[in-house]
Amino acid sequence: MLDTLLPILIFCALAVMVLGAWRRLSLWRQGRPSPVPLIRGLAAMPRRYLVDLHHVVERDRYMSKTHVATAGGFVLAALLMIIVHGFGLHNRILGFALLGATVLMFVGALFVAKRRRNPPARLSTGAWNRLPKSLLMFSASFFVVTLPVAGVIPADMGGWVVALILLIGVAWGVSEMFLGMTWGGPMKHAFAGALHLAWHRRAERFGGGRSTGLKALDLDQPNAVMGVEKPTDFTWNQLLGFDACVQCGKCEAVCPAFAAGQPLNPKKLIQDMVIGLAGGDDASFAGSPYPGVPLGEHGGGPHQPIVSQEGKGLVGADTLWSCTTCRACVEECPMMIEHVDAIVDMRRHLTLEQGSTPNKGADVLDNLIATDNPGGFDPGGRLNWAADLNLPLMSEKKQADVLFWVGDGAFDMRNQRTLRAFVSVLKAAGVDFAVLGLEERDSGDVARRLGDEATFQGLAKRNIASLSKYHFNTIVTCDPHSLHVLKNEYGELGGNYDVRHHSTYLGELIANQRLNLGQHKGGSVTYHDPCYLGRYNGEYDAPRNVLKAIGIEVKEMERSGFRSRCCGGGGGAPITDIPGKQRIPDMRMDDIKETGAELVAVGCPQCTAMFEGVVEPRPYVKDIAELVADVLIEAPVPQRSATRSDAMEVH
Amino acid sequence: MMPHELLKVVALVSVGAHPVTGRPRRAEQDARAVELGLCLAGKHLHLLHAGDAESEALRGYLGMGLAEMTVLQQPLHADILPALGSYLGATDAQLVLTGSQAEIGEGSGMLPYLLAEQLDWPLVVGLAEVESVKGGVAQVLQALPRGQRRRLQVRLPFVASVDSAAPKARQSAFGPAQRGQLQSQKVAVVEDMLLSEASMQTARPRPKRLKVIKAKTGAERMRAATAKASAGGKVLTDITPEQGAEAIFALLKEEKVLR
Ligand code: SF4
Ligand code: SF4
C-alpha cells in the first residue's frame, strides 16, 4: 500500500509546494523594481550560502554544526526520497544512502530540539517550537519506510496499522518541510533565504566585501512617492529578504534600542514587514514584542500605509525613530538581512512626504538647510576654534597632501579640544595639510539618517563641488560619520575620495616614524569602537595599534570590535530622542566601567558627547588624538627640518 | 477647533530670510499663519503671494501639505497692496491671515493695517487662536504681552495678523513642496512711489534703556530680574487738553527727550 500512496503523497506535496512558491514570488514581485543579475545571482548562491552565510553562522558553533547536519541531511534525504519513493527506484545502495541522510538529519534535529528546551528570550516560540518535532518526524518516518528498500526488513512487515502510522508521520513531515517551505511555515526561510542570497541588494557583501552606504533616492521624480509608505514600496528583493528571517533573534540580542527599552526590536520589525507583505496582524507573533507595545494591536497589508497617521498601522513611528543605525543587527544576522536600509527607507517617507520627523528633527533639518550645520550656528564661525592656529586653507594653497575634514565638531567646545590636539600632531609630524575652512559644510550624515535625502544630497553636492576645486591625496577626519559619508556615500553622487579616519592616519604616521612619542602615563584604558568606524568601515586595528604605540594596553570590553555596543549617538537618535527605560550611553558606560579602566579612549565626536553626558563618577573620556598629543615630544623630526630648509631657500 | 471646511481662509505668505545666513526661506510668522489656516480650513486653505512665482522658497509653504498657491506676479519694487486688495476683494474670502512683519524688504509691518483699511474689514492683531465661528461671527483669542489672552468677537470677513504667540508651524516636507503648483496670475503693477524716491538703509538696533539694578542681596536681584517690568507713569483723568499737553511736555523734558 505504501508503495502506491507514497509517490502520490510526495508528488502532490511537491505540486502544492510549487504553487506556493509561485504565490510567494508574486507577493515579492509587488515590490518596486531592483536591478540585480538574476542568473548570475543564482549561480553565485551556493557559494554565498556555504561561505559567506556560514561565516556568520559559524560565530555560534553549536548552531552551525546543528544546521549543517540538519539541513545537509534534509537536502540529501529529500532528493533521494523523490528518487526512491517518488519514482519507485528501489535500489539498495540508494536505500542505504537515504537511511544515512535521515540519520544525519535526525541527529541534527535532536540538537535543534535540545536548544529549544530552554530557549533564550531572543528565540521565537510558536511554530518554531514545532519545527524540531517535524524534523524528527520527517527523518524518523522516512528512515522506517526506507528500511525495506535497503533490504534490512521485509517489505510487508508490520501490516496496516504500522503503515498507517508511518503514513501519518510522512504526511506531517512532508507538509512541514515542503508545504511550509513556500506557504509560510518556519521552513520558508530555506526557500526565501536561498533566493535572498542569490538576489541580495548588496552583492558586494559576499566574498568578504563590505557595503554599508545607504543607497541614493532619485529625487527627480516628484510624482513618485518618496521613501517607503506601504510594504509594496520596498524593492522586491527587500521584500524577499524580509521573508528569509529565521526569527533567531540575534539582532534583538544586540540592539541597543531594544536593550534600553525603546519601542524597537529589529526581529519584530522584520516580521512586521512579512505581515505587511502577506496581510494580517501581529497577534500570532511568538517572540519579544517592541518594549512597551502590546501584541495584537497592529496590522496591515501590502497596500496599506505602514505608519498610519490616524489608526495604529503596522508599525508605530517611534519604532522607526528609535534606531541608532548602529548596524549591530545587520552584522549579526545570519540571513544577511538589511534592517537599517529598511528603517531609513521608511523614515524617508515620514520626513520627505509627511514632514513628521519627531522632536528636534525638524529644527535640525531647517538648520542644515539654512546654515549648513545642525546647530544653526553662523557658518562664518566654522573656523573660530582655530583662530590662533594659523591653519593652511585650501583656498590659498590649492593643493596639499592631506585635506583635513574638520566636521561639525568645529562648533562644539568639547570636540574643539580633539581637533586642536590632532592639529598639533599633524604639525609635529610636518604633514602637508590644509582645511576647507568656510567652504566645508555638514557632511549630510544626520540629514540622511533622519530620512531627509533632499538635504543630504544638497549638502553632498555642494561639498563635492568644493572638494573638486582642489588637489589632495587623502582626506583625513576625526569624525567617523563624515568618514563614512565621504567614503561610502558620496561616490554615488560623483565624489570618490581616499578617506581615512584620524586613527588610521596616526597609525601610518607612527609606522613611518614621523612622530616622536612618549608613553602614556595615566591609568588603565579601554577603547570603544564607534559603529561608523568599526562595523561601517571595518577599522578595528588602527586605533588599537596607535594606543599600543603610546604604551597603552587596552582592557577590552566584552562587547568590542564588530560586537561593540552603540553609544546611542548615531542615526539622529539623540535628536529624535524616543524615550525608553534607560539611556543607551549609560548602558555602554556600564560596559566601560566593568573593565575597571580609568579612561575610555574614543574616536568619534558623537561618542565623546554621549559618554561625557553620563553623570560622574565615571571614567574619563579622551579622544585618541588627545591621548597622542599628550605624549607628543616636540623635538624636530628630521623630515620636518628638511622641508623647512627647502622653504627657506626659496626666499 | 476642528477644520472648518466651509470657512474660506486665505493665508498671505512672503519669502523670508534666515536671521543668521539671510538665505531665503518660508518666513517664520507667515508659516505660523499658514499653520493656523491649516488648522481652520485643512486642505482648503488658500495660499496667496504677491511677488515672483519662481522663488523656490515659496515651496516651503506648499511642503506643509498644500497642493497649490496663487502668485500675483509682481516685480521686486512694486507696491503689492493694490494687487492684494483687489484680488481679495473679488474673492469670497472670510478670513485673511498674515504674519505681522516681513523678513525682507521694507518689513514695516504696515501691510495688515493698510490691507484691512483698503478692504474695509476689521483687523485683529496678534491672533493666537480661533475658538469658534458661528453665524458670521468668529470668537478668537488675541495674544497680549506676557502670555495674556483677550477674547474677541469679530464679524466676518476680517484680516488677522499672527506673531510668535500663534502655534509653531509644522515641518515642511520635500515631496509635497516639489509637487505643489505655483499658479502665477498676471495682475496690474503699481509702482511704489516711496521706494522709487527713498533710499534703503540698514536697520540699527533700537536703543534700550539700561536697567540699573541697585540690589545688594541675591534675593533683591532675583526680585528685580523677575519683577514685572512696570510701565510706570500715572493715569491722568478729567483734565483739560492743555493740562494734558503740559503733562506730556513735562515728562518728555524729564526723560531728556526734549531739551
Ligand atoms: S532578522 Fe536576522 S538576526 Fe534578526 S531574527 Fe531574523 S534572521 Fe535572525
Ligand atoms: S541598527 Fe542598531 S539600533 Fe537599529 S535596529 Fe539595528 S541594532 Fe537596533
pLDDT in tens, B94-108: 999 999 999 988 888
B241: β partners: none
For cell 580609568, name the residue.
A598
Going from the Cα of A533 to the center of ligand 2, the distance in angstroms, rounded, reads: 16
Give yes or no for residue A221 having a pLDDT over 50: yes
The position carrying cell 537515504 is A98
Identify whether A212 is part of a domain.
no
Q: What is the grid cell recorded at A376?
A: 544653526
A223 contact residues in B (CB cutoff 8 A):
179
- Together in a domain, A163 and A233: no
> How much of chain B exceeds pLDDT 70, in percent?
95
Pairing of strands B24-26, B15-17: antiparallel
Please, what CATH class does the domain formed by B9-197 belong to? alpha beta
- CA angle, A207 then A211 then A212, to 5°: 150
- Report CB contact under 8 Å: B20, A377: yes
Do A321 and A408 belong together in one domain?
no
Which residues lie closer than 8 Å to A12 by C-beta, 6 or more apart?
A: none
- Is the overall model pTM greater than 0.95, yes or no? no
Give the pLDDT confidence score for residue B123 in this predicted structure.
96
Tell me, yes or no, whether A647 lies in a domain: no
How would you list the strands of the sheet with B158-162, edge to edge?
A: B123-125, B158-162, B95-99, B9-12, B46-51, B68-73, B181-186
Report the gap between the CA of A309 and the closest CA in chain B (Å).
14
DSSP assigned state of B223: H
Cβ-defined contact of A369 to B25 (cutoff 8 Å): yes
For ligand 2, the distance from its centroid to the CA atom of residue A265, given in whole angstroms, is 8
- Tell me the per-residue pLDDT of B130-143, one tens digit each, with 9 for 90 and over: 999 998 999 999 99
- The residues that bridge with B50 in the sheet, in sequence order, are B72
Using the mean position of ligand 1's atoms as its centre, give its distance from the Cα of residue A248 in Å: 5
Predicted pLDDT at A648: 43
Are B98 and B30 in contact by the 8 Å Cβ rule? The answer is yes
Q: How far apart are CA A226 and CA A216, in angstroms?
A: 11
Which residues in chain A have their CB less than 8 angstroms from residue B175's CB? 222, 225-226, 352-353
- Residues of B in Cβ contact (< 8 Å) with A353: 173, 175-176
What is the model's pLDDT at position A103? 95
Asked whether residue A645 is domain-assigned, the answer is no
The reply to whether A499 and A560 lie within a common domain is yes
Q: How many C-alpha atoms does A2 have within 13 Å on its Cβ side?
A: 28
Ligand 1 contacts CB of residue A122 (under 6 A) = no
Written as nine digits, the cell of B220 is 533683591
Bridge-based pairing of strands B158-162 and B123-125 is parallel
Q: Lowest-confidence range among A522-536, B64-78, B98-112, B220-234?
A: B220-234
CB-based contact (8 Å) between B179 and chain A? Answer: yes
- For residue B140, what are the β-bridge partners? B130, B152
Residue A638 banded pLDDT, cuts 50, 70, 90: low
Task: Find the residue in A nearest to B60 (Cα).
Answer: A366
pLDDT value, residue A149: 86
Q: For residue A650, tell me if it sits in a domain.
A: no
CB contact under 8 A, A365 and B171: yes
**Cβ separation B173–A351 shorter than 8 A:** yes
Taking contacts as CB-CB distances below 8 angstroms, the residues of chain A near B26 are none
Interatomic CA distance for residues B142 and B139, integer angstroms: 10
Specify if A99 maps to a domain. Answer: yes
Residues 340 through 359 of chain A touching chain B, CB cutoff 8 Å: 351-357
CATH number of the structural domain spanning residue A307: 1.10.1060
Look at residue A210 and tell me if it is in a domain. no
- What do you get for the CA distance between the two ends of chain A, in Å? 105
User: Which residues in chain A touch residue B21, judged by CB atoms under 8 angstroms apart?
Assistant: 370-371, 378-379
A135 Cβ closer than 6 Å to some ligand 2 atom: no
pLDDT at B232: 66
Q: Is B21–A355 a contact, with Cβ atoms under 8 angstroms apart? A: no
Give chain A's mean pLDDT.
93
Question: Is A315:A297 a contact under the CB 8 Å cutoff?
Answer: no
Task: Please tell me the predicted confidence (pLDDT) of residue A514.
Answer: 94
Q: Which of the residues B26, B59, B171, B182 would you substitute to probe the A interface, choosing the one with the greatest number of A C-beta atoms within 10 Å?
A: B171
3-state secondary structure of A266: helix
Q: What is the mean pLDDT of residues A46-70?
A: 92
Average pLDDT taken over every residue of chain B: 90
- Count other Cβ atoms within 10 Å, centred on residue B145: 8
Kindly state whether residue A96 falls inside one of the protein's structural domains. yes
Q: Let me know whether A241 and A185 are in one domain.
A: no
Residue A187 domain flag: yes
Q: What is the tens place of the pLDDT at every residue in A373-416?
A: 999 999 999 999 999 999 999 999 999 999 999 999 999 999 99
Looking at the structure, do residues A125 and A184 belong to the same domain, yes or no? yes
Three-state SS at B38: helix
Secondary-structure percent of chain A, ordered helix, strand, coil, rounded to 5: 55, 5, 40
The residue type of A449 is: R
**A202 secondary structure, DSSP code:** -
Query: Could you tell me the sign of the dihedral formed by the alpha carbons of A555, A557, A558, A564, in that order?
Result: negative
Position A644 pLDDT exceeds 80: no
Pocket test for ligand 2, best of A319, A320, A327, A588 (most atoms within 8 A of CB): A327
Q: Model confidence over B168-211: pLDDT tens digits?
A: 999 999 999 999 999 999 999 998 888 788 888 877 888 887 77
Together in a domain, A348 and A405 = no
Q: Are residues A340 and A378 in the same domain?
A: no
- How far is it, in rounded angstroms, from Cα B89 to Cα B186? 16
Helices and strands, number each (H, E), in chain A: 29, 9
Atom of ligand 1 nearest to the CA of A287: 5
pLDDT at B3 over 60: no
DSSP string computed for A341-400: HHHHHHHHIIIIII---TTTHHHHHHHHHHHSSTT---GGGTTGGGTTT-PPBHHHHSEE
Residues A167 and A301 both lie in one domain: no
Order across the sheet with A620-623: list the strands. Answer: A525-527, A599-602, A620-623
B233 pLDDT more than 90: no
Say whether both A471 and A591 belong to one domain: yes
CA distance A203 to A44: 10
Q: What is the pLDDT of residue A182?
A: 92
8 Å CB contact between A487 and A212: no
pLDDT band, residue A635 (cuts 50/70/90): low
Angle between helices A266-278 and A339-348 (to 10 degrees): 70
Residue B207 confidence (pLDDT): 82
Q: Is A581 exposed, middle or buried (0-12, 13-18, 19+ CB in 10 A)?
A: exposed
pLDDT at A312: 83
Least CA distance to A455: which residue of chain B? B174
Taking the CA of residue A400 and the nearest CA in chain B, the distance in Å comes to 30
Residues A348 and A374 in one domain: no
Reduce the secondary structure of A448-490 to three states and give it as a string.
Answer: HHCCCHHHHHHHHHHHHHHHCCCEEEEEEECCHHHHHHHHHHC
pLDDT digits (tens, 9 = 90+) for A256-306: 999 999 999 999 999 999 999 999 999 999 999 999 999 999 999 999 999
CA A401, distance to chain mean position in Å, is 34
Taking the Cβ of residue A233 and every Cβ of chain B, the question of whether any pair is shorter than 8 Å is answered with no
Distance, C-alpha A225 to centroid of its chain: 26
Cell digits for B143? Answer: 495674544
Ligand nearest to the CA of A249: 1
Residue A642 has pLDDT above 60, yes or no: no
Does residue A645 surpass a pLDDT of 60? no
The x, y and z cell numbers of residue A600, run together, are 575610555
Tally of domains within chain A: 3
pLDDT over 60 (residue B2)? no
Around A482, how many Cα atoms within 13 Å sit in the side-chain half-sphere? 29
Q: Are A324 and A389 in a shared domain?
A: no
Q: What does the domain layout of chain B look like in residue ranges?
A: 9-197, 204-259
Using one digit for the tens of pLDDT, what is the confidence trace for A30-54? 999 999 999 999 999 999 999 999 9
Indicate the residue type of B184. S
A433, A309: one domain: no
A204 contacts A213 by C-beta, under 8 angstroms: no
Distance A613 CA to ligand 1 centre (A): 32
Q: In angstroms, what is the span from residue A272 Cα to ligand 1's centroid?
A: 12
Ligand nearest to the CA of A258: 2
pLDDT of B212 reads 73
Residue of A267, A329, A532 with the most ligand 2 atoms within 8 Å of its CB, for mutation: A329
**Calpha distance B63→A357 (Å, rounded):** 13
Residues of the domain holding A242? 224-353
Query: Are A377 and B21 within 8 A, CB to CB?
Result: no
Query: B68 to chain A nearest CA, in Å?
Result: 15
Given this model, what pLDDT does residue A649 score? 40
Summarised one tens digit per residue, pLDDT across range A563-595 is: 999 999 999 999 999 999 999 999 999 999 999
Q: B47 forms bridges with which residues in the sheet?
A: B11, B69
**CB-neighbour burial class of residue A109 (10 A; exposed 0-12, middle 13-18, buried 19+):** buried
